[in-house]
Structure 1
Amino acid sequence: MKNILLVEDDLTYSRIVKTFLGKNGFSVQTAIKVKEAQQLLSNSTFDLIIADFRLPDGTGMELLQWTKSNYPQTQVILITHYSDIRIAIKAMKLGAFEYITKPINPDELLATVNESLSTKVTETTSAEATVIRTASPKQKYKSSYVIGSSTEAEKLEKHIQLVAPTDLSVLVLGETGTGKEFVSRRIHDLSTRKDGPFVAIDCGALPKELAGSELFGHVKGAFTGALENKTGHFEMANGGTIFLDEIGNLSYEVQIQLLRAIQERTIRRIGGNKETQIDVRIIAATNDNLLLQAGDGHFREDLYHRLNEFTLSAIPLRRRKEDLEDFADQFLEESNERLDKRVTGFSPEVWEIFLGYDWPGNLRELRNIIKRAVLLSAGSHVEKDALPADLYEPTGNLIGNRSNTSSISGGSDLPSPKDYKSQWVEQEKELIQKVLMDTKFNKSKTARILNMDRKTLYSKMEKYGLD
């Protein structure tokens, strides 16, 4: 019998989910706080954690990171409200197996639980388990890259084919979920290095104190806990391509090491004195404004120019609606194969909803919505009732929708005013603009006053045209 830890502070909701999973053959223990869950994990063995994102003493994200650092073999599913979609996407990058949204459909929950427990986590270090995705000549995979037919998509593909055969370092820019890794893998597949490894690293998930070791390796005894020699990701990628996602998250010290590796084409393991030659093409990606970070002293400008020999921009889904059908068909095929279903298409009503939606989570959001819809569909086509209500109801962003009798739901039924979002956006823009003017555009001081990190401030400034 598989052991599940359910972390949920809504006791009624927790009892419903525990009972449901218990009837389906699982042993379930519950906790209501992050610290309580950590204590249970330290004293017992669990195959899976299902955690709500919002908890009294922290977040499910914090529990996810702690679990992946200490118990990398334990799978984690995050429960969110639909308004937390960007957070959920970040959780996937940090190692969560999946996220599901409230109100939860029982069939969706059970299928996700079964799938997570049947998926084996590669036994490696915690950082590697959560951030490394390596493709070598011996590892065949089916590419999910969709070129698209829109003008912007054709321009992007043209630039990819232009830069791929070269050895130029490429900087891929774009919002979260726009497929920056797919673009990078496409470059690798069309390059002369296609038979070499493709090593993808999420720099945002690398522990700061171990980032240098993860990238460049270390020798035995280099620091406390270095019990044996370790090969870094740059050596693993030798002869191929290394993809550094969220490059702006690297510390200044690691940036210096990275700059040296690019300039000299050599690396030195932490604690070692031997130089190792490397033949690696570097593709970096970010949704940050690195030039702003450089101006603020948090990203080396010389490193930026080394990485930015050629720039590509991954396109937000809202700007390529002409390609929506291509992506939806691809994700439908993937979902049918993964869930062993035979759904052949989407109803006209669903297409109307898809085309009218803004897709803040971009391709990653579209993929997850289609996978969920395929799971819930009994007929040959995806119908409206298989979609989250938030896609088509302005006031549907509820914390648990009890009107959906087929769902496991929880929380309060308090809808927001129809124009609340637009009012909030305008107020936020005015507040940021006022503080920037008061601080004479001192971004560090502005971020402190607004109680947000610099990355968030940069992102909002760009969004509101305040840079």
Structure 2
Amino acid sequence: MSTILIVDDEIQICTLLTKILSKEGYEVDHSVSGTTALKMVKEKLYDVVFCDYRLKDKEIDGSVLSLKIRELSPPTGIVVMTGYPDVRVAIQLIKNGIYDYVVKPLNAAQVILLTQKALLHKALTSKDPLPVAPASPEAPVSTLVSHRGTLSQFVYGVGNASKELHVHIKLIAPTDYSVVILGETGTGKESVAQLIHSQSKRKNKPFVAIDCGSLSRELACSELFGHEKGAFTGAIQAKTGAFQEAHGGTLFLDEIGNLSYEVQTALLRAIQERVVRPVGSTRETPVDIRIIVASNEDLQQAVLNGRFRDDLYYRLNEFSVNVPPLRARRDDLPLFVNAFKQMIEAELNREYGEVSAEVYQAFYHYGWPGNIRELKNVMRRICLLSTNEGPVTTAHLPEEMLPALKEAEATGTGGTTEEDLKNVSRQAEYKKIMDVLQQVHYNKSEAARMMNIDRKTLYNKLHTLNIVL
């Protein structure tokens, strides 16, 4: 039976969460004191801890308690609860290894889902049996499915820039706020929009993406709002626009800065009034959507230059997310490379050997003007031209990367930066751990024994390297 600890200085909250989770078949303890809770954790192993951020305990508050629990029991999933959300606090706590940071009050469904997700995460990282909550007469049985054997669409980075990005996503996703995503071409802005949608309450509704850069002035209104048959030359049948297609879900408008001023005006009205009027129609149709937009240019500067409506910008910019370029995420290169290699192996139905250290050195020295999209294409090229099961080497790097390769060769180990060496070391450690885990069929105790380390050290390495199996 999974064990849960609730820590909150308000006894009513402890009682409520205990009642909710006990009905789901979990063993639940609670404490109104951080000091007492710490003693309980030392005496008993808890699978999940819900901890209030602002405990009134004079000796130990919620932030300190969560970190101490993390040190004592790395596998425990820690959910920090707060009534006063702060992005900076959330970023720091996530960096320090807590599982989630949530805003009170929580309803029963949220508490149960958080617990299930935390238990699943623990099971997948520790190879414990997958958790299944006992059926209760008041709640349906929830089935948790592992993604083993499939490649996730999203890669969560381990660097500080990536962690900050995903903290922002976790905070904004559950709301209905409009979001402006900023970032260079190829950084994955649409993937960020899809991730926000997938973590929102609209996740079971449509996600509709429109590339505004490809819309002509004449057809933009038709694509966005639809048109009636005969509304203009070539309109041989009625068309449903993107706003109506996304009803109930999320509409993602990429490169929104490319829309003409006239279309911006129509867009502003549709967003304000939450109604659309198809071209050639006198009928207005209500729509319920969330708007997420993206741009590779500074929209504030576009406002100052008179190319973008200021009222539309402020209507859209309820929250902004900056997607860092790949050159600012070099810590994540091994993870991206590994993910793309797996994806390409699945696409080509072929297996390749390890990516050589020389390839990584070239990658670290390269500027990546095309960002993650360019990295994916480079990996496709060098894998496609490599021999089956042979190592992936620098032999087939594209011409534009050859100066970076020459720089890496010229500097050698003595010329690489300390950060480069850390990343090469991280990749080597990542590969070693994965090889051992596969050899022992993902038995963590056996893997730790083979690597001559204790289980706690292995857990810490898995967390640091972002290995979730």
Q: Give me the TM-score of the superposition, normalised by structure 2.
A: 0.53
> Which position in structure 2 is the counterpart of 1:157?
166
Identical-residue share of aligned pairs (%): 52
C-alpha deviation, 1:294, in angstroms = 1.4
Aligned counterparts of 1:225 and 1:309: Cα–Cα separation in 2:
38
TM-aligned CA distance change 1:315 to 1:188, over 3 Å: same
> Which position in structure 2 is the counterpart of 1:195?
204
TM-aligned CA distance change 1:272 to 1:318, over 3 Å: same
Structure 1: which amino acid aligns with 2:189? K
> Which position in structure 2 is the counterpart of 1:393?
403
Aligned counterparts of 2:311 and 2:331: Cα–Cα separation in 1:
38
Out of 347, 363, 366, the residue aligned to residue 338 of structure 1 is: 347
Out of 377, 382, 392, the residue aligned to residue 392 of structure 2 is: 382
TM-aligned CA distance change 1:327 to 1:194, over 3 Å: same
Q: Is 2:293 the counterpart of 1:292?
A: no
> Which position in structure 1 is the counterpart of 2:376?
367
C-alpha deviation, 1:293, in angstroms = 1.6
> Residue 297 of structure 1: SS of its match in structure 2?
coil
C-alpha deviation, 1:147, in angstroms = 1.4
> Which position in structure 2 is the counterpart of 1:305?
314
Q: Check whether the contact 2:264–2:312 (CA below 8 A) recurs between aligned residues.
A: yes
Structure 2: which amino acid aligns with 1:322? D
Q: Give me the TM-score of the superposition, normalised by structure 1.
A: 0.53
TM-aligned CA distance change 1:143 to 1:281, over 3 Å: farther
C-alpha deviation, 1:207, in angstroms = 2.1
Aligned counterparts of 1:327 and 1:218: Cα–Cα separation in 2:
42
C-alpha deviation, 1:389, in angstroms = 3.4
TM-aligned CA distance change 1:269 to 1:142, over 3 Å: farther
Structure 2: which amino acid aligns with 1:361? G
> Which position in structure 2 is the counterpart of 1:256?
265
Q: Check whether the contact 2:291–2:316 (CA below 8 A) recurs between aligned residues.
A: yes
Q: Check whether the contact 1:203–1:249 (CA below 8 A) recurs between aligned residues.
A: yes
TM-aligned CA distance change 1:143 to 1:277, over 3 Å: farther
TM-aligned CA distance change 1:230 to 1:199, over 3 Å: same
Structure 2: which amino acid aligns with 1:332? K
> Which position in structure 2 is the counterpart of 1:175?
184
Out of 313, 316, 338, the residue aligned to residue 329 of structure 1 is: 338
> Which position in structure 2 is the counterpart of 1:276?
285
> Residue 381 of structure 1: SS of its match in structure 2?
coil
Per-residue CA deviation, residues 305-335 of structure 1 (Å, 9 max, x unaligned), is: 1111000011100001001111111111111
Aligned counterparts of 1:362 and 1:194: Cα–Cα separation in 2:
27
Q: Check whether the contact 1:357–1:392 (CA below 8 A) recurs between aligned residues.
A: no
Q: Check whether the contact 1:241–1:280 (CA below 8 A) recurs between aligned residues.
A: yes
C-alpha deviation, 1:386, in angstroms = 2.0
Q: Check whether the contact 1:248–1:299 (CA below 8 A) recurs between aligned residues.
A: yes
Per-residue CA deviation, residues 383-427 of structure 1 (Å, 9 max, x unaligned), is: 11021132133699xxxxxxxxxxxxxxxxxxxxxxxxxxxxxxx
C-alpha deviation, 1:345, in angstroms = 2.4
Structure 2: which amino acid aligns with 1:233? A
> Which position in structure 2 is the counterpart of 1:124?
none
Structure 1: which amino acid aligns with 2:293? A
Q: Is 2:226 the counterpart of 1:234?
A: no
TM-aligned CA distance change 1:191 to 1:142, over 3 Å: farther
Q: Check whether the contact 2:363–2:404 (CA below 8 A) recurs between aligned residues.
A: no
C-alpha deviation, 1:144, in angstroms = 2.1
> Which position in structure 1 is the counterpart of 2:430?
none
> Which position in structure 2 is the counterpart of 1:120?
none
C-alpha deviation, 1:300, in angstroms = 0.3
Structure 2: which amino acid aligns with 1:387? L
> Residue 372 of structure 1: SS of its match in structure 2?
helix
- Structure with greater contact order relative to length (CA < 8 Å, sep ≥ 6): 1
> Which position in structure 1 is the counterpart of 2:194?
185
Q: Check whether the contact 1:341–1:374 (CA below 8 A) recurs between aligned residues.
A: no
How large is the RMSD of aligned CA atoms in angstroms?
1.6
* Larger-gyration structure (1/2): 2
> Which position in structure 1 is the counterpart of 2:153?
144
Out of 213, 222, 228, the residue aligned to residue 231 of structure 2 is: 222
Structure 2: which amino acid aligns with 1:296? N
The alignment covers a number of residue pairs equal to 256
